[in-house]
Amino acid sequence: MTKTTSMFVRVAMVLAFLTLLPGLSYAQSGGATEKEIKEMVQKQFERMYQKGVENLSDRIVVSSGVKPFAVVTDTGDKVKAIRIKQAEEMPADIALEVLRRSLIALVKKGKIGATAIFYTADNPNKESNAEKVLVVEMEHIFGPTLAQLVPFTIKGSKASFGDQVVVEMEKQIFNINVDEEAAE
**pLDDT one-digit tens code per residue, 62-96:** 666 788 999 999 988 899 999 988 888 889 899 99
Residue 28 corresponds to which amino acid? Q
Q: At a CB cut-off of 8 Å and minimum separation 6, what does 105 contact?
A: none
Indicate the DSSP class of residue 76. T
With 60 as the cut, is the pLDDT of residue 11 above it?
no
Residue 1's pLDDT band (boundaries 50, 70, 90)?
very low
Q: What is the DSSP letter of 85?
A: G
pLDDT value of position 78: 93
Three-class SS of residue 152?
strand
Digit-coded pLDDT (tens) for 145-182: 999 999 988 888 788 888 889 999 999 999 866 454 44
Given a contact cutoff of 8 angstroms between Cβ atoms, the answer to whether 162 and 154 are in contact is no
